[in-house]
Amino acid sequence: MCIFLTYFTSIATNAICYSYLVTAISQYFFNILYRRKYLLTFRMHWFIIFLSWFISFLLPLLLYLQGALRYSSETHMCFLDLSKQWAVLSYMIIAIGIPYFSIIFIYRNIIRHTRRINTMINATSNLQIMSNRDLRVLKNILILIGILGAAGFPSLILFIWNLVTPGKAPVPFYLACILVINICTNIQISFIFTMNKNMKIIFWNRVKSVFQ
């Protein structure tokens, strides 16, 4: 049951990482490759979403088949078996490293492209307004990616620690990694809530209706 829960937790983590990558790819299509109309279609976006979910489901299955998911009697929780270094390293690269650095690369190109447009157009034009709006969206997404990176940083340290000195990492550090992930997840949810005006309006209207 513990391994089963860890499997679906890994799927959720992978889906979050790849959902940000899907958003980045979509932004890249609409901001830079907008002349290629087939990239802007629903069919293309559904294909990208399906591919991201397929990868998200497949990666934890590979861990399970490699026996890299195990129960820890010290913490009474399931973790990646860091003794299976190649399986865990491959998982971290594909599940976290590839989407994370791809997102940074994509948004770097989008921001450079948007700033170049801003220098070429009139400050009062509609294109300028759209460019500024896109930059605000990109800023918010980069903040979310930063929070995601902060959540995974202790786990990266733990992996390196076990890589250098296998089995020597203290048990509290495992629990600290879980705690940091939970805290960053709550921060991320709170940030998404605060930057969504429609969601805030609906929430406060619901609160007012309850207390009236």
53-94 confidence digits (pLDDT tens): 999 888 888 877 777 777 766 556 676 766 677 777 788 888
Q: Supply the pLDDT for residue 153.
A: 85
* Structure tokens, 113: 């492209």
Burial degree of 88 (CB within 10 A; 0-12, 13-18, 19+): buried
Q: What is the C-alpha to C-alpha distance for residues 8 and 4, in angstroms, rounded to an integer?
A: 7
* Range 2-195: architecture per CATH: Up-down Bundle (1.20)
Q: Which of 150, 156, 121, 114 is nearest to 135 (CA)?
A: 114
Q: Supply the pLDDT for residue 5.
A: 75
205 pLDDT band, cuts 50/70/90, is confident
194 pLDDT band, cuts 50/70/90, is confident
Say if residues 178 and 77 touch (Cβ distance below 8 Å). Answer: yes
Mean per-residue pLDDT of the chain: 78
Do the strands 77-80 and 69-72 form a parallel or antiparallel pair, or are they unpaired? antiparallel
Reported as half-sphere exposure (CB side, CA atoms, 13 A), residue 142 has a value of 13
- In this prediction, residues 10-33 reach a mean pLDDT of 84
Q: Supply the pLDDT for residue 106.
A: 87
49 pLDDT band, cuts 50/70/90, is very high
Does pLDDT of 202 surpass 80? no
Q: What is the C-alpha to C-alpha distance for residues 43 and 50, in angstroms, rounded to an integer?
A: 10
Burial degree of 129 (CB within 10 A; 0-12, 13-18, 19+): exposed
Looking at per-residue pLDDT, the higher value among 112 and 101 belongs to 101
Does pLDDT of 104 surpass 60? yes
Reported as half-sphere exposure (CB side, CA atoms, 13 A), residue 150 has a value of 15
Burial degree of 10 (CB within 10 A; 0-12, 13-18, 19+): buried
Does pLDDT of 199 surpass 70? no
As a whole-number percent, the residues of the chain with pLDDT over 90 amount to 5
Helix (H) or strand (E) holding 77: strand 77-80
- In this prediction, residues 184-199 reach a mean pLDDT of 76
pTM of the predicted model as reported, rounded to 2 decimal places? 0.71
Does pLDDT of 3 surpass 60? yes
- In this prediction, residues 158-176 reach a mean pLDDT of 77
Does pLDDT of 128 surpass 60? no
Would you list the domain boundaries of the chain? Answer: 2-195
**Crossing angle (nearest 10°) for helices 42-65 and 2-31:** 150
